[in-house]
Amino acid sequence: MDSHTGSATASPPFDLVVRGGTVVSHDRAVRTDLGIRDGRVAAVGAGLGGGLRELDATGLVVLPGLVDVHVHLREPGMTRKEDFASGTRAAAAGGVTTVVDMPNTLPPVETTAGFAEKLALVTPKAHVDFGLYGMLGKTNADEIAGLATAGAMGLKLFMGQTTGDNPCPDDGAIFTGLRAATAAGLVVGVHAENDALLRRLSAELRAAGRTDPRAHLEGRPAVVEVEAVTRISTLASVAGTQLHIHHLSTAAGLDRVRLLRSLGHRVTVEVLVAHLLLDDTAYDRYGNLVKLNPPIRPADDVAALWRGIAAGDVDIIATDHAPHTAEEQAETDVWHAHGGFIGVETMLPLLLTEVHRGRLSLPDLVRLCCHTPARTWRLDDRKGHLGVGADADLVLVDPAAPGEIDPHRLHSKHPVTPYAGWPTVGAVRATYLRGELVAKDGQAVGAPRGRHLAPAPATATPAPSTPATATPALAPATPAGSMA
């Protein structure tokens, strides 16, 4: 794709010119050229001057690099499952140029010192740019200001049991942490499940002798999600916190979010690729491989999430890339099985297939996977778009190329996926990070060059209210689908 040009007497105005591609933003797709200098987009338009390198993108779609705000790269402490090198190589090959890694590692990222240790450990291994979450835990509210200063992308609150089995904070600890997050200007992302309820229901199923994959679904019914979404939205509104719900999975949960927004609660919502492409019949086909927290849901819930995307009620699509070893994923007893599976490398081919089927447009894909994630975590000065001044994170896509998900070509340590053999339409031909090639035709190339990202300073922090004045103090309703 690249060819070298240039004059011996004058330097071309650009390091790289991408010519003739269809450049996609969150609201349009235009055939135009991009001029790149010093790793950033320097010009957009026809008839640009020459470049040291010229890339002919005729017939290709040029997307901003995807921003996956929900990955578990398992480092430190669980590198038998994945590590930062393998996980970010997978991201690059799949067209994801920014990942945000979760804090439920061993040890969990609960302190400023722990954050610094993790940052030093993973930075030399990163093939794409990355952010790191800190934990909102039971006893670490006094660490939150330091986590923000150290460059944490946000805080993750686990209201329900998941990998790492980190103790879920009680409501008092949650509220204290939310107020600290507000003061520090950090987004709080939430795994919204009622822990006490899911543990009680799961214990009843275990006592009845159930070990089959569907028992996991039955132990986490929609009320587990709805109650947690309602409770955390109420507390976050009182604390003035910018709230994000990770992996919302049910029709009832999305209905509750609509209601809460109509009452003035500020909340963004993410759904997973898995919750859009799999329904509960997957348990019969894949067994515990598709065990997730929250679980794969019935078809009516899947349809409701797609309607939420079309209506603008869903803000972000992410992966919850959650690797485990092949042996762990072969476990037949659902209570011993590990929740989650890989996804960062298959996300874009699978979503491009949905574009081909007419369920998404290319601007929808960019809005959900690039633009809104970058805005929500205050990275949009450089990430999530291809306007002048943005980092030159480019994904060149052949939108009509047929293919299939081939585990033998995936980069994760344990490339076990329910999507193995699924046909796809739309192929990632090349991924560029800040103007440099990091993957070509599904293979990561080059040495690690990813950088740590921290959110830009918050321009305004909502004033927290006291519980006694919670209702009058709520912010005005946010239009569905907008950034809050």
In a domain, 197, yes or no: yes
Supply the pLDDT for residue 414: 97
Q: Which residue has the higher pLDDT, 484 or 184?
A: 184
In a domain, 478, yes or no: no
One domain, residues 396 and 349: no
One domain, residues 78 and 33: no
pLDDT in tens, 431-468: 999 999 999 999 999 999 999 999 999 875 444 333 33
Q: Which domain holds residue 24?
A: 2-63+390-401+408-444
In a domain, 476, yes or no: no
Supply the pLDDT for residue 165: 65
One domain, residues 51 and 99: no
Does residue 162 surpass a pLDDT of 90? no
In a domain, 417, yes or no: yes
One domain, residues 39 and 138: no
Supply the pLDDT for residue 459: 75
Task: Count the domains in the chain.
Answer: 2
One domain, residues 27 and 80: no
Under the banding of pLDDT at 50, 70 and 90, the label for residue 6 is very low
One domain, residues 166 and 246: yes
Mean pLDDT of 197-224: 97
In a domain, 332, yes or no: yes
One domain, residues 136 and 216: yes
Q: Is beta strand 2-4 parallel, antiparallel or unpaired with respect to 129-135? A: unpaired
pTM for the model = 0.92
Residue 40: CATH number of its domain? 2.30.40.10
Q: What is the mean pLDDT of the chain?
A: 92
In a domain, 473, yes or no: no
Does residue 475 surpass a pLDDT of 50? no
In a domain, 469, yes or no: no
pLDDT > 90 in the chain, percent: 90
One domain, residues 126 and 204: yes
pLDDT in tens, 261-319: 999 999 999 999 999 999 999 999 999 999 999 999 999 999 999 999 999 999 999 99
Under the banding of pLDDT at 50, 70 and 90, the label for residue 473 is very low
Under the banding of pLDDT at 50, 70 and 90, the label for residue 7 is very low
One domain, residues 45 and 83: no
One domain, residues 199 and 268: yes
One domain, residues 11 and 110: no
In a domain, 334, yes or no: yes
One domain, residues 350 and 278: yes
Does residue 477 surpass a pLDDT of 60? no
pLDDT > 70 in the chain, percent: 92
Supply the pLDDT for residue 160: 84
Supply the pLDDT for residue 166: 78
Residue 80: CATH number of its domain? 3.20.20.140
